[in-house]
Structure 1
Amino acid sequence: MARHIYACPLRWSDMDAFGHVNNVVFLRYLEEARIDFMFTQAAEAGAGEFAGGSVVARHEIDYKFPLVHRPAPVTIETWVTKIGAASVTVSYEIKDTAEDGTETVYVRASSVVVPFDLQVGRPRRISKVEHAFLSRFIEDSDRAKVAA
């Protein structure tokens, strides 16, 4: 399974009064990784239509472990778990990997993203080029579903 890797910097303002990254900030981190994946990386692969408009229809997030502020970025892995005719489900893990290979997962999450035509003000279908790009990142498991 191919995953998009994004190194997300932590900002001092991300911390809450308890000294760890606030739960709401994690959604910003997911957004940064998703923008890098679906706008920047997709455009470089010739599938830049997402940058013309998309909306998040749903977020699901599980907080696993508190993340405290530090100078090093956190890693966000992003992959696709479902491609529909007019939506894509993107999954994420926000984590660190120690030198010995031990992983600490702070968040597991998913977002349903809908391509959106801003000029006409409504959702649109996923193009063949977008589908081909997203298919490179589909999860290789029984849970993955790809619609034609």
Structure 2
Amino acid sequence: MRWGDMDAYGHVNNVEILRILEEARIHAFGPPGGTGGPGQEPLVPLFSALPAGTQALVVEHRVRYLAPLTYRNIPLDIDVWVSSLKAASVTIAYIVHDPVTGEACAKAETTIAFVAAGTGRLLRIDGEQKALIRPFVGRPVFA
């Protein structure tokens, strides 16, 4: 968490929660190919191993705020897993926990679709991608 993530009430702002979820998603599944520099390998290289010209785009976010998350200068605990794997989309689920109390502060899901960069055409998830994802459907990537 960052100091600037707080809102006027001293809680982590709801918009910052989406950024935190993005960081957890990238940590688990990798950054989109061709972005950033070398770093830690993702646990599941789903996004970093996409074929050239393929984009992973957010289709939808759903967030349920369960309890205020106050700023602490230590990392959050976030469970991340795949809640749904469909022909052309994958839904990633999260539970954000207060790192001191362990209380669940937010439950969320992000649906991602793969599209062809040049045309914007929706792409089906191929067998190799499904093989990467299947072990984490309903099972935490990291907790």
CA distance in 1, matches of 2:131, 2:115: 18
Q: How many residues align?
A: 127
Higher relative contact order (CA 8 A, sep 6+): 1
Shift of 1:46: 9.9
Residue 108 of structure 1 is matched in structure 2 by 107
Q: Runs of at least 4 residues of structure 1 off by over 3 A? A: none
Per-residue deviation, residues 107-147 of structure 1 (Å, max 9, x unmatched): 0011111012213322211121111111111116xxxxxxx
Quote the sequence identity (%): 36
C-alpha distance 42-53 of structure 1, shift in aligned 2 (>3 A): farther
Aligned partner (choices 56, 64, 67) of residue 65 of structure 1? 67
Q: Is the 8 A contact 2:94 2:108 kept in 1?
A: yes
Q: Specify the SS of the correspondent of 2:60.
A: strand
Structure 1's unaligned 5+ residue stretches are 1-9, 141-148
Greater share of helix residues, 1 or 2? 1
CA distance in 2, matches of 1:84, 1:131: 9
- Within 5 Å, give how 1:110-125 maps onto structure 2: 110-125=109-124
Structure 2's unaligned 5+ residue stretches are 31-41
Per-residue deviation, residues 59-91 of structure 1 (Å, max 9, x unmatched): 111001111111111011111111111001111
What is the letter of the counterpart of residue 129 of structure 1?
A: E
TM-score by length of 1: 0.76
What is the letter of the counterpart of residue 6 of structure 2?
A: M
Greater share of strand residues, 1 or 2? 1
TM-score by length of 2: 0.79
Shift of 1:96: 3.5
CA distance in 1, matches of 2:70, 2:60: 26
CA distance in 2, matches of 1:47, 1:60: 24
